Structure 1
Amino acid sequence: MIRTEQSYVRNLNILYLVFKKPLQESLLVTEEHLNLLFYNVDEIIISSTSLLNTLVEQGKNFENDQTIAGSLLSLIPFLELYRNYTLNYRKCQNLRLELLEKDKIRAWLEKQYENPQCQNLTIESYLTLPIQRIPQYFYLLDEILKCTDGEDPEYEKIEMALSMVKEISEEVSVALKEQDQLETMNKISKKFTDYQIMKIGRIYYHDGELVKICRKERKKRLFYLFSDVLLYTQNVQAIGAKLNFIQSASRFQSIFTNNQGHP
């Protein structure tokens, strides 16, 4: 627990020191956009650092009556920070896309990525850290509750904390799914030179290799289905491949949907 919390706090500080603070000083974004992008990050760093310090102190004195459960219970006042961060993260998805499409910001980020502290991770990877941490807290509290006697005075508090974390975890799962889609689209966009994949409101559904029946032979094609367009390319391996076909996806979506009507 202490090791994972140390790693979490260390990476949160990288988010602040390598991205938030320098971006603020660069004046490339407005203060309003900066606060939306890094919503509650400062407060989350403070709460997580406090939790880490408590865990370290308790780790020095195992005969103390306090337990790891007591430490995690100190999270309760801060859980609302995580809820608000997650909701804001989802709400600002379009803003992140808009900013990342700007040449000056993309160039600035590429320079920041050269910092060894980044560990070859993107700003998006660091922004999702608080979202990814909630399921881990849920697992820990769930395990602690199973090992706690129902008569223990801390049992009800642990149960309450678990209930709150579970509720936030459900919101987090939606946010993570949306982030996975965004990362997939970003990877796909790097394969093409002649079409803008990253577009506000566009949703990635599915991709796969199909065989196109031509006059002389059958040829492999790689297809990408989005909410508004169906794309395919001849060269399925090369970076910088060009698209051969673009058409509205509305007439094709029924092919890729299941019996509930979802892609």
Structure 2
Amino acid sequence: MDWSATGSPTPLTFSEELKLAIKERNVLTTKSKMKVLSALNDLTKASVQEKQAEFRQKVINEIYSTEMTYLHQLEVIMKFFMEPLRTKSWLPHSTFNALFGNIEILYKVNGELLKELKEGEQHVASAFSKIAPYLKLYSVYAYDYKKALEILQTMVKTNKELNQFIIMQETRPEVSASIQSLLIVPIQRIPRYRLLLQELVNYTPKDDSNYSTIKDALAKVEQTAEHINGLVTEYENAEEMLMLARRVVHCPVDIIVPGRKIIKQGCLMKVTKNGRTSNQRYLVLFNDSLMYCKGKAEGILKFSCLLPLKHCQVEPVFGAGVFKITCQGEVILLYTGDSQLGQDWIETLQAATKEYQVCRWTLRKESSKRKPIRRKDRKHTEPRALPQSPDSKVSVSCFRMFKNIL
């Protein structure tokens, strides 16, 4: 008898009990036994197929029912929030468009999807394959959603009329939901399609005539999901880069350049030239360089140095989260009171440096098929020459300082 993870016996099916009894009791000839066991195997296989078909039908029903619910939620947004607010002057035009400008388009797209789904279960996969190119419209909504919602939440706190209107609409029996919970529904829809189609693939036999179509539909929805996630990530990085650029002063280089991303940032302690004292520095690790500034986590940052990752070497020293960065004659010794945080910085810096070097090698291999890139051409695509920091050279005497720290 099988046992479950909780220690209780798992009940056997009728077919399994029969098989066990036939094997244990020698009441049939070998030929008869083989016939009976073969028949029981066929019965078990048929039972598994029936269960798969049952689960498959449940998934199809869920796709259809959740699509109906989703369209109803879009109707609620349009009827009780979008249309009334269109006639008011409470929201700036840009905020209104960011929140509601794509709702009607999404409603039409998903209305077409629902029409296809109504054709029957054989049309589920083809319905998603047809509509998949239009699902990329969700990326526009996702792009605007977060920022617009933040503006709305701020305005609700300062605009009494707007606040009262939203509360009144949210408490209506036909709504019974917050505007935030309704507006996030389109963001959740594509991941939901992905999950449901994956389940449909799992419960569809590979020899089924629709199997390849379902797999194709899943692949297209996955591509759409990745496209949306990538766009949102780019948007968030652009916002983060812009905020950083506004904080940094006396910077002789361009912080915002195409393809640059922030990987990690925060405050660390930098050992001075004589090794007797240390000063707080704010480090920003990009995917192509490392910038360190004078300043704190909040407020203005005074630019000190920009180190290109292609020339950087990161080495832990002493242990306990202390590490050294060497780059084109620059030697920087850094540490933090939190050893785990220091170790995180070491690992992240090493990983970023390695990844950048691998990417450069790959690009150089690809570009070798075209015109070779000369040194004078590359200088415009790399971080500019490093300004020499007055405390850039770390002397051997710095080791004395860490005898007292560690």
TM-score normalised over the length of structure 1? 0.57
* Within-5 A mapping of 1:98-177: 98-101=154-157, 102-119=159-176, 121-146=177-202, 147=204, 149=206, 154=213, 157-168=216-227, 170=229
> 23-32 or 5-14, which moves further after superposition?
23-32
The Cα of 1:169 is off from its aligned counterpart by: 6.6
Q: Match for 2:75 among 13, 36, 40?
A: 13
Deviation at 1:139, TM superposition (A): 0.9
After TM superposition, the structure 1 = structure 2 runs for residues 38-53 of structure 1, keeping only pairs within 5 Å, are 38-53=100-115
Q: 1:118 to 1:156 in 2, by over 3 A?
A: closer
State the one-letter code of the partner of 2:148.
C
Equivalent of residue 68 in structure 1, options 98, 110, 124 = 124
Which position in structure 1 is the counterpart of 2:89? 27
- Kept in 1: contact 2:90–2:162 (CA 8 A): yes
Change beyond 3 A, Cα 1:159–1:51: closer
- SS in structure 1 of the partner of residue 90 of structure 2: coil
The 1:166–1:77 alpha-carbon spacing in structure 2 relative to 1, beyond 3 Å, is closer
Whether contact under 8 Å (2:129, 2:216) holds in the other structure is yes
Against the structure 1 CA distance between its residues 166 and 258, is the aligned structure 2 distance closer, same or farther, given a 3 Å change threshold?
A: farther
Structure with bigger RCO (C-alpha 8 Å, 6+ apart): 1
Change (3 A) 1:259 1:92: farther
Partner SS, residue 75 of structure 1: helix
The offset of 1:171, in angstroms, is 5.7
Distance 1:96 1:54, change over 3 A: same
**Amino acid in structure 2 at the alignment position of 1:117:** E
Cα distance in 2, alignment partners of residues 12 and 48 from structure 1:
10
Distance change >3 Å, CA 13–CA 158, structure 1 → 2 = same
Q: Between Structure 1 and Structure 2, how many residues are aligned? A: 179
Aligned to 1:96: 152
Partner Cα distance (2:206, 2:166) in 1: 50
CA distance in 2, matches of 1:132, 1:139: 11
> Superposition RMSD on alpha carbons, in Å?
3.4
Report how far residue 38 of structure 1 moved: 1.4
Hey, what does 2:6 align to over in structure 1?
none
Residue 165 of structure 1: how far off its partner (Å): 3.5
Q: Equivalent of 1:78, from 131, 134, 153?
A: 134
- Runs of 4+ aligned residues of structure 1 deviating over 3 Å after TM superposition are 144-153, 168-174, 257-261
What SS class does the counterpart of residue 27 from structure 1 fall into? Answer: coil
- In structure 2, the residue matched to 1:244 is none
| Gaps in structure 1 of 5+ consecutive residues | 175-226, 229-253
SS of 1:154's partner is helix
Partner of 2:64: 2
Q: Is the 8 A contact 1:134 1:169 kept in 2?
A: no
TM-superposition CA deviations, 1:21-68 (whole Å, max 9, x none)? 011122322333211121411100111111112212x23xx6xxx431
Q: Percent identity?
A: 23
- TM-aligned CA deviation for residue 260 of structure 1: 4.4
Contact kept, 8 Å, 2:98 with 2:141, in 1: the verdict is no
User: What residue is the counterpart of 1:217 in the other structure?
Assistant: none
Secondary structure of 2:111's counterpart equals helix
Gaps in structure 2 of 5+ consecutive residues? 1-62, 234-296, 299-337, 346-406
Query: Are the structure 2 counterparts of residues 103 and 51 from structure 1 closer, same or farther at C-alpha, using a change threshold of 3 Å?
Result: same
